[in-house]
Structure 1
């Protein structure tokens, strides 16, 4: 069994696309997953599964959510080892920053630097971003809500065709912790 995190995009925001975490836990359990837990109300769940196909797990969850709640919700599923690797590869001094200053955007597929080549990094300093493996690291010293760089990075021209969802560093760390207990792997 492998521990996974399901990252749901755009739920429970301003009263829209409501997905109660208790119902999400029930849904994941009904899909046959074990060790199901959620974190916060913003669409973070962990579970164990014998499957090794993250894309199939995400597609299954998307179908089940739409059937249960009546609206589509893009989902990404990543195993605990991947989450830990992405966190460890952070190019910014995470230990020295507040969780609200550092974010990771997870992508459904690899993204090349060309997609973001039009962004002039100097125009957004002291904010910065770096690309990783299916991930983008964003340093926003004033937080995401005030970040002009975050707005630029999320423009439709840059994100067209991508499934992407962001988490602050506190949530990244918690998901790494929650999926680290992979002792059930067989």
Structure 2
């Protein structure tokens, strides 16, 4: 059995894609997930289940579609991977406000040449580092003004991306 962090993108934002967290926890438990916890209203789901990343995504998407009529992209990580992201903290020397320091989780690892190209670009005042399937972005101007957002990275690398700020990641880590 593996402990997973499931990160749906775009639920409970305004009136769109409404998913009540208590009902989601119940539906996932009924579908065979164990020790289901949600963090916040944006759908950070922590649960235990056997299977691969793809299997977990398919099952959670199926539950959300069947129970709530909501279909959204999502990214998943094993609990140990989330802990590694927090431990690596490659922008610790510049990120002074954790609400403006993001980990953007990618569904696939970009090619080394793509990573090098992005890291060599001037995206100031933002600072970007990519490690594996995670982009670390310090955005001192705030997330609304971001150049290197999850949507920009999806366009650049393909696949799915979703962001969590450092404060949220630290809360998630306490429940893993």
Structure 1 length-normalised TM: 0.83
Matched, 1:177 2:156: no
Q: CA deviation at 1:120?
A: 5.9
Structure 2 unmatched ranges of 5 or more: none
Q: Distance in 2 between matches of 1:95 and 1:169?
A: 13
- Decide whether the 8 Å contact of 1:58 with 1:76 is kept in 2: yes
Structure-to-structure mapping, 1:28-67, within 5 angstroms: 28-49=28-49, 51-67=50-66
Of the structure 1 ranges 8-17 and 90-99, higher mean CA displacement relative to structure 2 is found in 90-99
Query: In angstroms, what is the RMSD of aligned CA positions?
Result: 2.3
Change beyond 3 A, Cα 1:63–1:140: same
Contiguous gaps of at least 5 residues in structure 1? 180-186
CA contact (8 A) 1:102 1:137 kept: yes
1:26-51: CA deviations, max 9, x gaps?
A: 121111112111111111011122x1
Divergent runs of 4+, >3 A: 113-116
- TM-score in terms of structure 2 length: 0.88
Is the contact made by 2:8 and 2:44 (CA closer than 8 Å) also made in structure 1? yes
Alignment of 1:12-23 (within 5 A): 12-23=12-23
3-state secondary structure, aligned to 1:148 = coil
